Amino acid sequence: MDFSIKAFDTKNTLAAAKSGCIAVAVYENKKLSQAAKALDQGGEITAALKSGDITGKPGSTLLLRGVSGAAAARVLLVGVGADEAISEKSFASSVSAALKAFAALGSTDAIIALPMLDVKARDLAWSMRCVVMTATEAEFRTDGQKFKKDPAITGVRKLTIAADGGAATKTLLAQAIAVANGASLTKELGNLSANICTPTYLANTAKKLAADYGFDIEVLERKQLEALKMGSFLSVTRGSEEAPKFIVLKHMGGKAKDAPVVLVGKGITFDTGGISLKAGPGMDEMKYDMCGAGSVLGTFRAIGEMGLKLNVIGIVAACENMPSGRATKPGDIVSSMNGLTIEVLNTDAEGRLVLCDALTYAERFNPACVVDIATLTGACVVALGHHNSGLFTRADDACEQLADDLLAAGKQSGDTAWRLPISEAYNEQLKSNFADLANIGSPGGASCTAAAFLENFTRKYTWAHLDIAGTAWKSGGAKGATGRPVPLLTTFLMNRV
């Protein structure tokens, strides 16, 4: 969808705007928004409210044609609730309802003139992103691998947002579009079948991003990983015919001497569990085990598109976890890049084996902070469901501040996280008789022990871990990648600027 902004005033009035449709808000107490009043010169909108044809409840709509006070062919009345101080949920519902109505129109253009500044505890940036993300989500297609494509998208294709047309507002729109495009890339990668979205495919996607947005890129191959002594990462890929790829993207938008933020994504393009084989039902969803990597690439698309003035480095550790005669076995002991040895008690706890070497590699950038993103544990889904990503970090001052910043970015973007604990008690569960660490802990607190495992490889910098196992994709009839946590990550990075 094409988005634009237009300011309507006494000279260029909303009533005089020529459009296929204008969406305006009405309230449950039969009051009209300012935009609705501007189009009600003939009283048709007031009459519709009084007649009860529309209640004003959030998400209710009524399409009017031939409104005498509007040059537009249609006026869409959209309910936003009882008060002019609209709730976040009510506004999101009204936006979704408006866009659904637009999709059924014969017109290709429309104006959305909802009260963007009247959402409780939210600003124009949030409202703008709500409109753009909802519109982009509505037109997102999952038929890329179908021979018989879904019907072509019809209805409104050009959406004008009624708002102040100044430079600052246009920047907000551009940022919202960039975040939406980044989330769409993450969804596209997540939804691709694993025979297409291989480690090589992720590397090629990163190369295209680098070419499009001027990033520096390096892709390390197996021999280079062996030279770096990434024995933990390489232990996961032993059973696969697909070559591992260690992808490093650099967006150096800040000052040359500024320490970068490093994002580290788990990129298991398919996870069978290895020798510790997963159950067959639902294993198809293990193509989503690269959503941490996908979110790093999606975030890079967003910050590249908006030209973010910040130094950001993305690391994607990509491979498959497959069973074969060469595969790592339960009980094997492997050496990580930082020298710690790991007893692999369960080959299905592979994400941490990949991430630990990537987190050690991140040290060379002298980072301002490091955030790793991974579909790491089913236990996080048990703890938090599909609403919040799990956030873990140490209790020192720098890590506490990083956690606060990430939680705030989650609330700001609507892509929320919830903090869970790690402490030395969880490290006690990871003790091994034969190695420095076991890759799984004794029973209980599995998402916490996984985070505690990673923390052993992050003590030279400020670090946080996001477990997105419950938020990166949906199962069931709505099966598919969600694009999370791209909104959280991009908001976090934008706030640092």
Give the pLDDT confidence of 417-438 residue by residue, as tens digits: 999 999 999 999 999 999 999 9
Q: Can 352 be counted among the known catalytic residues?
A: yes
**29-46 average pLDDT score:** 94
Name the β-bridge partners of 290: none
pLDDT at position 389: 98
- Active-site choice (278, 329, 419, 474): 278
Give the pLDDT confidence of 222-237 residue by residue, as tens digits: 999 999 999 999 999 9
Name the β-bridge partners of 220: 246
Q: What is the dihedral of CA 203, 467, 304, 95, to 10 degrees?
A: 120
> Could you state, in order of their start, the residue ranges of all structural domains in the chain?
2-162, 184-496
pLDDT at position 165: 81
Q: How confident is the model at residue 10 (pLDDT cuts 50, 70, 90)?
A: confident
**Going by C-beta distance under 8 Å and a sequence separation of 6 or more, which residues neighbour residue 70?**
14, 15, 17, 22, 39
The single-letter DSSP state of residue 275 is T
Mean pLDDT lowest among 142-156, 268-282, 432-446: 142-156
The single-letter DSSP state of residue 338 is T
Q: What is the dihedral of CA 15, 17, 21, 27, to 10 degrees?
A: -40
pLDDT at position 255: 96
**178-190 average pLDDT score:** 98
pLDDT at position 245: 98
pLDDT at position 353: 98
**84-99 average pLDDT score:** 93
Amino acid in position 152: A
Report the candidate in 418, 407, 415 with the shortest Cα–Cα distance to residue 383.
Answer: 418
Q: How confident is the model at residue 85 (pLDDT cuts 50, 70, 90)?
A: confident
Write the class of the CATH domain 2-162: alpha beta
Q: Can 394 be counted among the known catalytic residues?
A: no
pLDDT at position 154: 84
pLDDT at position 29: 86
Average model confidence (pLDDT) for the chain? Answer: 96
Residue 108 in this model has a pLDDT that exceeds 90: yes
Residue 82 in this model has a pLDDT that exceeds 90: no
Alpha carbons 141 and 121: distance in angstroms, whole number: 32
Alpha carbons 489 and 485: distance in angstroms, whole number: 6
**155-169 average pLDDT score:** 93
Which percentage of the chain shows pLDDT scores above 70?
A: 100
Give the pLDDT confidence of 374-425 residue by residue, as tens digits: 999 999 999 999 999 999 999 999 999 999 999 999 999 999 999 999 999 9
Q: Are 314 and 249 in contact (CB under 8 A)?
A: yes
User: What is the fold of 184-496?
Assistant: Aminopeptidase (3.40.630)
Residue 84 in this model has a pLDDT that exceeds 80: no
Question: ∠65-119-132 over CA atoms, to 5°?
Answer: 65
- Active-site choice (74, 129, 352, 394): 352
> What pTM was computed for the model?
0.96
The single-letter DSSP state of residue 86 is B
Residue 369 in this model has a pLDDT that exceeds 80: yes
